[in-house]
Structure 1
């Protein structure tokens, strides 16, 4: 559990370092396009070069071990490329490394929220991704696109799902299949509470940071986000008011369990049957697999409710990609490594399929590449801790409904001091949804956007 939470908290906290990056002057080589072709074309203009050594930075933890296990598969295709795979505190080291240009790695695992802050130092991969772009989830291309350039090789897609305690709901006579909209979810929570007095069925996130990330998921369903493609704030809108009104209704009617994701209180309320609905990213599947005890095997996943009948049944919550620093001496070979992992069947099957780290498969995400996320060709098996449910089909069908997105603004983490905290004040009963949006918009614009 500790290893998983370290990875997830690193993912969620990543945007903070990005806030400083845009003000820094790039120190990479002059990469202006010339008659020989675009940046990416010149990066890979020696396609027969398939030998050398690459340094790849990843965070320590479960994904590091997953990628480590795929190196042998990569070397089966490229036996003359040695992969020096290094566990690094990327948040602590990457910025200074890119600034100084000393010992720059050839490839880096980077959270989507951070890509936009480092584009001066990264290769624009538009050309090399072009053969695959039509099959990559639009949201993942969008979050990696800045000023027309694509700066990350998309890794995972983290669709939002509605996790639910099927055993408890069946006992209470609640039909989850009837939950098509968030209004239906509210009614199901009321019905469960009537059957189980004292229960608080829906999860209400108590962390300001995670609550803001979950807000992103809800907004993604509605085709919006905290900022537009140009970084302009667009928070005080009917869409965000609708989301906050839903959360406030859960609070005012006593339908929610207020707890921070997978802390002891949260786990206890999940295991005792009081908290039975958890709208969250697919990576919540880790909980029944490795955290919950009394209710492991009772949980299932389905698509999120829609905001309107017929609307999108999922939104993006989190995600990561791979980037190639301009000063990496063997970025062309690093591209071959990432191309293998994400777009070669042997590679993505090794990443998401059953392995030593995840014997049933990497069921905390799905690939962002369409052919790899084929519902008819599952990469991981039925999940025992979800009662043998076919999570792959549920997740890939949800992922296909995620609307496109925008790059995460460099000031996203700073916004937690305003938006994230104000949402918590609303859940305390101290602010209305309208006050949260108006005050947060004013503070974010003044203290973050205008100061970039």
Structure 2
């Protein structure tokens, strides 16, 4: 379960930790199909009250595959005439060639938001079928799925950034988490903890180039920006990104950070021994106290991220996935009904996020992107034992409401890891300044990725 979860989550819910980075560097292909009229690309819902047919749905193996598998019976109670062939597939390895050759194309695919831009020419525009729900979908999720005015994914999860912290260790050290409102406050709290616990390095510093870049985008989203604008133009060398990198470099220079890759043995050891007590990360870090930590499970809690300025956004998106419908799928319109049920029908989203066989306390590694499903007053999950019985739903839905809008992830995003992700690590090695990271990465990404599209 741990390996499957990590594969799902590391790239907008699907990277495989150390093994993931090489594969991800090649993802997000810019495959171009022929031009069609806008109207011809719009998916239409099937007519009639009792549609019949057979659909093939691709998902990755792992925990979410099992969750979606468990909802098929509920879907068939509503649509008994639709047979669902649910197939576990290495999507990164198979999808590109499948779409190019138009051979055995599935009707629906679970796909990282970061990759949708690269495949959009082969996908249905879902603007028409999503229209009844669009006003109630988190703006950030609509934004990342919108390309040239079309919407190319059925939004799945919302992954708000949270500040996870070891409440037991901080209380013993006399550090008040409630006083942390800004990133300056977080630095002050880390200094206080280190003074009380000599040798500790309280704040997580991500050592994976890919995940470091993903976390960087979370911080940027809080500030209302991202590596690319809505037109896919690079906008990295800005005061906002310099501010974020300066914060991370300060953590490094003052020795306040534990440098480790997300939930590798070193990271887990430093979490369990009390040296690393602050983890600014997506909600899916909740998996760690639930499944990975042995000594400190039950000690951890979650709260809103600090803001960059007093009164600023206390969360930003880090990761996310959606469902796409290939145009060469035989029954994409019927696959739409499956995803509509999962995401927008109360019976469907309660089965996805509520307690079940895979997650007995609920799917607490995300919240729905459909705001009626993410109702703070109607929790789909609540108290999480591994978080000391904290009501994570309340914390996460509050954070989700704070996430600013976003932009589509450009097809070259993963390729940028070779430049920005690696340069960020060089800064954390002490070899580059924040300004040098921005200048050098901007030049390399523009020349090698953006200009070559």
Distance 2:4 2:132 in 1: 35
Aligned equivalents of 2:315, 2:38: Cα separation in 1: 39
Alignment partner of 2:71: what SS?
helix
TM-aligned CA deviation for residue 102 of structure 1: 1.3
Give the Å deviation of 1:25: 2.8
Question: What does residue 32 of structure 1 align with?
Answer: 37
Q: Which residue of 1 aligns with 2:441?
A: 440
What SS does the aligned partner of 1:44 have?
coil
Q: 1:381 — aligned with what?
A: 382
CA contact (8 A) 2:307 2:313 kept: yes
Provide, for residues 150-182 of structure 1, a one-character-per-residue CA deviation record: whole Å limited to 9, x for no partner.
000000000000000000000011110110000
Q: Which residue of 1 aligns with 2:111?
A: 110
Cα offset, 1:413, TM superposition = 1.1
SS at match of 2:85: strand
Q: Which residue of 1 aligns with 2:62?
A: 61
The residue number in structure 1 matching 2:30 is: 21
**2:27–2:92 CA contact under 8 A, matched in 1:** no
Contact 1:190 1:255 in 2 (8 A): yes
Q: TM-score, normalised by structure 2?
A: 0.96
Residue 279 of structure 1 pairs with residue 280 of structure 2 = yes
Q: CA deviation at 1:100?
A: 1.0
**In the aligned structure 2, how far is the partner of 1:19 from the partner of 1:135?**
28
1:39 positional shift: 4.3
Change (3 A) 1:47 1:225: farther
Instruction: Look up the SS of the partner of 1:374 in the other structure.
Output: coil
User: Within 1, Cα distance between the matches of 2:346 and 2:125?
Assistant: 24
Other structure's SS at 1:66 match: helix
CA distance in 2, matches of 1:131, 1:371: 13
Deviations 1:25-56 (A, max 9, x none): 35xxx86356xxx6436x32524451111100
Secondary structure of residue in 1 paired with 2:421: helix
Question: Per the alignment, in what secondary structure is the counterpart of residue 86 of structure 1?
Answer: strand
Match of 1:403 in 2: 404
Deviation at 1:5, TM superposition (A): 1.4
CA contact (8 A) 2:51 2:79 kept: yes
Stretches of structure 1 that go unaligned for 5 or more consecutive residues are: none
Is 1:154–1:320's contact at 8 Å kept on the other side of the alignment? yes
Root mean square deviation of aligned Cα: 1.4
CA contact (8 A) 1:15 1:412 kept: no
Q: Which TM-score applies when normalising by structure 1? A: 0.96
Q: Please, which runs of 5 or more residues in structure 2 have no aligned partner?
A: none
Alpha-carbon offset, residue 330 of structure 1 = 0.7
How many pairs align? 444
Distance 1:45-1:7 versus aligned 2 partners, 3 A rule: closer
Are the structure 2 counterparts of residues 47 and 224 from structure 1 closer, same or farther at C-alpha, using a change threshold of 3 Å? farther
- Measure, in 2, the Cα distance between the counterparts of 1:88 and 1:260: 26
